Structure 1
Amino acid sequence: MSMSDGMMVWRSAFRLGGSRSRRWGSVSTATGLLAFVFDFCFALTLQRFFVSIGLVSGSADMPLLGAPGSPASEAMLFVAAGLLKSLTVWANSVSTGATQVAFEARVRSLIAQWSLADGKVASGRVATLFGDITLCSAAAVSTSYYFVGRLLMLGATLVTLLVYSLETTAAVLLLLIFLTPAHRLLDGVITRASADIQQSLASVNDRLMRGVKNAIFLHIHGRLGREVEDQHALISRFENSSLRYYSFASARGVIPQVVGICAVVLIALQGSQVFADNSATLIAYLYMVMRFFQTLAEVARVTANIRGNWPRLQVLSDWCRMDLAPVDEAIRSELHHSRQAVSGFDRVGLTLKEVDYAWPGACRGLEKIDLEFGPGSATVIVGPSGVGKTTLLLLISSLIRPDQGSITVSTREGAFEAFDVKHRLLATAAYVGPDPFVIDGTVREFLAFGQSESKTDEQMWQALAKAHCGFISQSGAGLEHRLSEQGGGLSAGQKQRLSIARALLRSPHLLILDEATSNLDADSELAIIDTVRQLKGEVTIIAVTHRDAVQAIADSIVQFDSEGRVTQVAGEALVERGEPVKEWHE
């Protein structure tokens, strides 16, 4: 990776972390430099204390304090310097941790917004980004602030040592030559292990999410044992790579400490000659040498940490640039509008003229679509899987914008371009999909979820009755009956009927049913269809279905063929009423 690419990754990371993370990071850097000040004070007070008790001879004068006083006063001064040093270390540790937490909170909030607003993201990818990628990226960013603080501390310590003794410090620096080849060797291993950790963990997440969703298939088709073995192999790969990383990253921090011990021994052996004029100075100098190599070891350790987390930071930067940035403004707009009270329309119809839409990278899309959904009419959309029925629903709902053509909303207030009145259109609509959205809570909370205004118990019971949810009244707890997140204790059909009740409770003027009766038995389906039939005239109904029974209420049928061509024909209901059959678009 080039330096410009690396700088782009860092800029992206610091921007993603937000102002709170940057403020805490600045405190972390500042307290790192402040730690040097108290380290130096600690060294000087240690020297004064040793002189005061006669352990060493020489001068230990300090500005403002003068010559050493009694052992008791010097001991108190030494303890005070130690406490200030410890307090600074504590503040540095807290601010570094706060930097990481602020980064995690900010990035996870952005990931949550993006994944919910986009709606097309693989759950395995969201889990990886939300967990490992964010956690390790936060560690890299917080460590980078800590690293800068330690570099400043290292530089200040080196200057202090040079002031004490230029020749001795120069000899100490020569020992650092031995660190370079060893660190380069270790860095190569750490980089390879870090990349393997990230790749293996991402694979584990993706495969696990896929396996959880398809657990029944794995059991029935005899793939459970093989899937577990494959998962175990990926986890073992992650474990081995992690052990390799921690082994070599720890060695990177140990090597400077070993060199430092050797330096202290050599200085101590020659100290009587170098510091002959004031042997007490040797105490402070040796302490600062030890702190120099300890800080160097910390720098080596944190650079290994940054290198270890670098692959995750790159993934996060790529996500920000390729996925978040293009939709960031749209997400903020959606969040703003979703919090506002928006009035819907009393009556809506929709007209699509010459509409084209293709997903990025798709082989084909919808082309030259001309459709009409009259106010209060019922339209059924049919066709094989994968030809664009869901895409058509997204276009009708203005959740995506056509590449070409126009979609017009007809209301009592006039006609509007659909995307211009998107939020009013959505406030008018209700949706029931094939996989009901169930929340962990009571039936009352389930029904109230997504309502624009509060509903009375009477209204809830009326909606439940229209959706033929008699099983709720039979449960004993009624509206207080608790549902788990997965709808445990309810059949798929019961969950779907509850979702239909929730949609009816919204009193919509546009009702979108996406395979909403797919899990119902024949009798329940007919009962629900009868309820939907009664809504015609006031509610515009658009239903995607593979079930013949639903087509009985259709005024028109939109047919997709296997090539994606679309035809709109008169439905059974229109023919039965004997109304003139208009010339539908092809």
Structure 2
Amino acid sequence: MAKIRQEDRTPVLGRILKYLKPYWWLLTLALLCAVATVTCTLTGPVLVGRTVDMIIGPGQVDFTGILGMAGWLAGVYALGALTQWLMTYCTNKITYHTVKDIRVQAFSKLSTVPLRYIDGHSHGDLITRVVSDIDVISDGMLQGFSQLFTGVITILGTLAFMLSINVKIALVVVLITPLSLFVASFIAKRSHNMFREQSAVRGEMGGYVEEMLGNQKIVKAFGREAASQERFDEINSRLYDCGVKAQFYSSLTNPCTRFVNGVVYAGVGIIGAVAAINGAITVGQISSFLAYANQYTKPFNEISGVVTELQSALASARRVFAVLDEPSESPDALEAARPASCEGRVAVDGVSFAYEAKKPLIEDFNLQVEPGQRVAIVGPTGCGKTTLINLLMRFYDVDKGAISVDGKDIRDYARGSLRACYGMVLQDTWLFTGTVRENIAYARPDASEEEVIAAAKAAHAHSFIKRLPQGYDTVISEEGGSISQGQKQLLCIARVMLTSPPMLILDEATSNIDTRTEIRIQKAFDEMMRGKTSFIVAHRLSTIKEADRILVMRDGRIVEQGNHQSLLEKGGFYAELYNSQFAGAEE
């Protein structure tokens, strides 16, 4: 089982190391600095030993030699400090550049994976992977590089120096070394799974906290504070349990290796003392040997301490690489069509689609829309209205059948060109942190001031924007800050009006706007939709009376279609929906 885990970790570590390739020169410089630092550190005990040997007894002290050695010691330690600083600088640069590259790739991957993947995962968990997990990788690498570099070189260097002083005593140290390695390896294998579980639960907690904070009004409105706290406590308890176990195993490393170090130090002291009595070694050489024995075992302590960070970093890296390994959307073909505009002729031919294979949603769907037609899509919740929009925009690909625009299958278009043919206003508004002007000009950053203001006026947003503290230069956040939900919707409508696309999709676009403003917006929409193919999803049927065609959907199929008046006269499902909305008002 341990072997399987080791093989499981190796590819992850190998992938992290591949990110170091562009910074090989910094790596080389750091390695050279590590060698210089260790050389200076190991030269010190030699000089100290020689200094000790200059103190033979009372009245037999070579002060001139001692002063000379003191000067050499000062120079050696100063050089060691300088090279250690330079090594740390290099390892920091390597770490932060590498982590930056991983984070850029992770964010870029989230932009290319199919929406099915984004919709199927907790957004908070994905955020945790891109932010927190990559920070954990950074911490593990930062400690790992600096201490592994110096640690390995120190072990090899001290071993060489000890062998040069006395082979027999050095062999005692070498023979005890495997015990330290065994202890570190034994603990590392058992802590890895704990850190892996800790990373997974941390991601779950991130997703839950993001979910609760984003919907705190709903939680309070339904009095679910206690229930949400209880769920948080349950996740937090699991995080505590696996965290304590991980830290318990990793905390065993240092005291266990220190015990081994003590055995090594005692062995060197006793054997060295016996050798000195027999005249095989000087007192100064014993002092040097004891210093080397301490320095030889110290890297094992440091490396074993790094094991905790590395185990956590590997567990987090696995979660990040899981995102990077997700297949991206199939790329646009080289010969994919990239039209600057389109006429707006849309055909849906025998389309079937399901989010889950065992739960079909849309089956054998057919639709023909001529350029300039206004098509309203109505029906009960869950009938497939928004799904149809997702398919038209190619956020999802159909399972069967085909959708075409201007006679060409949308899969033969470049996605960017296809989506540029549509302007979308959704029920769920989205603003980013920036000025009002930047939010309106999101799709056209090069738009002039006059064009932005004209779009805002067309969306009836200009008046409230002028009342904001800095007008169009007012900075708003994703949540909208001090502006209302309806005003956020107006800004989203202005954003689409600025692009003036050949086709429009309005998915409950006026659901958050008061009735009086809605009437004015409808007039603006009428002007904007003139001559353009438009798809209007609405629950309030009063907003779609002027549509050229109304598609009535039920269970993923079109059950009725026609204009408002003909469908009412038919007395079918549409008439039933319409009357259910307005019967109370008429009474």
Q: Distance in 2 between matches of 1:45 and 1:183?
A: 33
Moved more, 303-312 or 491-500: 303-312
Structure 2 counterpart of 1:494, from 473, 477, 487 = 487
Tell me the equivalent position of 2:318: 314
Aligned residue identity for 1:224: E
**Are the equivalent residues in 2 in contact too, given 1:559–1:567 (CA < 8 A)?**
yes
Tell me the equivalent position of 2:290: 286
Equivalences for 1:367-406 in 2 at 5 Å?
367-406=363-402
Structure 2 counterpart of 1:82, from 39, 59, 77 = 77
SS at match of 2:387: helix
Tell me the equivalent position of 1:45: 47
Tell me the equivalent position of 1:345: 341
Consecutive unaligned residues in structure 2, runs of 5 or more: 569-587
**Are the equivalent residues in 1 in contact too, given 2:124–2:207 (CA < 8 A)?**
yes
Q: 1:182 to 1:478 in 2, by over 3 A?
A: closer
Pairwise CA RMSD? 3.6
Consecutive unaligned residues in structure 1, runs of 5 or more: 59-66, 337-341, 577-586
Tell me the equivalent position of 1:36: 38
Q: Distance in 1 between matches of 2:36 and 2:341?
A: 63
Q: Distance in 1 between matches of 2:253 and 2:546?
A: 73
Per-residue CA deviations over 1:421-461 (Å, capped at 9, x if unaligned) read: 4333333332111121212333222212221532233x333
Q: Distance in 2 between matches of 1:218 and 1:417?
A: 41
Tell me the equivalent position of 2:104: 109
1:550 aligns with 2:515: no
Equivalences for 1:102-251 in 2 at 5 Å?
102-118=97-113, 119=115, 120-121=118-119, 122-143=122-143, 145-146=145-146, 148-149=148-149, 150-176=151-177, 179=180, 183=184, 186-187=187-188, 190-191=191-192, 193-235=194-236, 237-239=238-240, 241-242=242-243, 245-246=246-247, 248-251=249-252
Q: 1:5 to 1:238 in 2, by over 3 A?
A: closer
Moved more, 174-183 or 158-167: 174-183
Aligned residue identity for 1:364: P
**Are the equivalent residues in 1 in contact too, given 2:349–2:403 (CA < 8 A)?**
yes
Cα deviation, residue 224, structure 1: 0.3
Per-residue CA deviations over 1:317-355 (Å, capped at 9, x if unaligned) read: 33332x2xx11884xx89x9xxxxx87316332222233
Tell me the equivalent position of 1:447: 440
How many residues are matched? 551
Aligned residue identity for 1:126: L
1:428 aligns with 2:460: no
Aligned residue identity for 1:168: I
Q: 1:409 to 1:568 in 2, by over 3 A?
A: farther
**Are the equivalent residues in 2 in contact too, given 1:52–1:74 (CA < 8 A)?**
no
Q: 1:182 to 1:7 in 2, by over 3 A?
A: closer
Q: 1:422 to 1:305 in 2, by over 3 A?
A: closer
**Are the equivalent residues in 1 in contact too, given 2:349–2:366 (CA < 8 A)?**
yes
SS at match of 1:352: strand
Per-residue CA deviations over 1:505-536 (Å, capped at 9, x if unaligned) read: 11221122122111122332232222222233
Q: 1:223 to 1:372 in 2, by over 3 A?
A: same
1:529 aligns with 2:529: no
Per-residue CA deviations over 1:82-112 (Å, capped at 9, x if unaligned) read: 1222233333333333333223322222232
Q: Distance in 1 between matches of 2:373 and 2:25?
A: 58
SS at match of 1:489: coil
Aligned residue identity for 2:96: V
Cα deviation, residue 294, structure 1: 0.4
**Are the equivalent residues in 2 in contact too, given 1:407–1:417 (CA < 8 A)?**
yes
Per-residue CA deviations over 1:455-477 (Å, capped at 9, x if unaligned) read: 233x3333223222232344475
Tell me the equivalent position of 1:61: none
Q: 1:73 to 1:535 in 2, by over 3 A?
A: same
**Are the equivalent residues in 2 in contact too, given 1:395–1:402 (CA < 8 A)?**
yes
**Are the equivalent residues in 1 in contact too, given 2:194–2:242 (CA < 8 A)?**
yes
Q: Distance in 1 between matches of 2:237 and 2:14?
A: 34
Per-residue CA deviations over 1:276-330 (Å, capped at 9, x if unaligned) read: 3451333332222111100111121122332344332332333332x2xx11884
Q: 1:517 to 1:127 in 2, by over 3 A?
A: same
Aligned residue identity for 2:364: K
Cα deviation, residue 500, structure 1: 0.7
Structure 1 counterpart of 2:563, from 550, 557, 571 = 571
What is the TM-score when the length of structure 2 is the normalising length?
A: 0.82
Per-residue CA deviations over 1:42-64 (Å, capped at 9, x if unaligned) read: 333333444456689x9xxxxxx
Q: 1:508 to 1:170 in 2, by over 3 A?
A: same
Structure 2 counterpart of 1:510, from 487, 493, 503 = 503
SS at match of 1:519: coil
Cα deviation, residue 496, structure 1: 0.8
Q: Distance in 1 between matches of 2:378 and 2:10?
A: 52
Moved more, 532-541 or 156-165: 156-165
SS at match of 2:254: helix
Q: 1:477 to 1:354 in 2, by over 3 A?
A: same
Q: Percent identity?
A: 19
Tell me the equivalent position of 1:295: 299
Q: Distance in 2 between matches of 1:327 and 1:157?
A: 51
Cα deviation, residue 209, structure 1: 1.6
Q: 1:204 to 1:468 in 2, by over 3 A?
A: same
Cα deviation, residue 396, structure 1: 1.6
Aligned residue identity for 1:197: Q
Q: 1:248 to 1:290 in 2, by over 3 A?
A: same
Tell me the equivalent position of 1:64: none
Q: 1:135 to 1:42 in 2, by over 3 A?
A: same
Q: Distance in 2 between matches of 1:388 and 1:447?
A: 30
**Are the equivalent residues in 2 in contact too, given 1:347–1:538 (CA < 8 A)?**
no
Q: Distance in 2 between matches of 1:381 and 1:560?
A: 7
Aligned residue identity for 2:199: Q
Q: Distance in 1 between matches of 2:224 and 2:469?
A: 41
**Are the equivalent residues in 2 in contact too, given 1:140–1:313 (CA < 8 A)?**
no
Aligned residue identity for 1:556: R
Q: Distance in 2 between matches of 1:198 and 1:221?
A: 32
Q: Distance in 1 between matches of 2:56 and 2:346?
A: 96
Tell me the equivalent position of 2:11: 8
**Are the equivalent residues in 2 in contact too, given 1:444–1:480 (CA < 8 A)?**
yes
Q: 1:476 to 1:31 in 2, by over 3 A?
A: closer
**Are the equivalent residues in 2 in contact too, given 1:48–1:68 (CA < 8 A)?**
no
Aligned residue identity for 1:259: V
Structure 1 counterpart of 2:453, from 446, 461, 476 = 461
Q: 1:152 to 1:403 in 2, by over 3 A?
A: farther
**Are the equivalent residues in 2 in contact too, given 1:349–1:540 (CA < 8 A)?**
yes
Q: Distance in 2 between matches of 1:188 and 1:418?
A: 49
Cα deviation, residue 189, structure 1: 5.7
Tell me the equivalent position of 1:71: 66
Q: Distance in 2 between matches of 1:55 and 1:259?
A: 35
Q: 1:51 to 1:133 in 2, by over 3 A?
A: same
What is the TM-score when the length of structure 1 is the normalising length?
A: 0.82
Q: Distance in 2 between matches of 1:348 and 1:271?
A: 92
Q: Distance in 2 between matches of 1:383 and 1:516?
A: 16
Q: 1:142 to 1:472 in 2, by over 3 A?
A: closer
Q: Distance in 2 between matches of 1:148 and 1:571?
A: 75
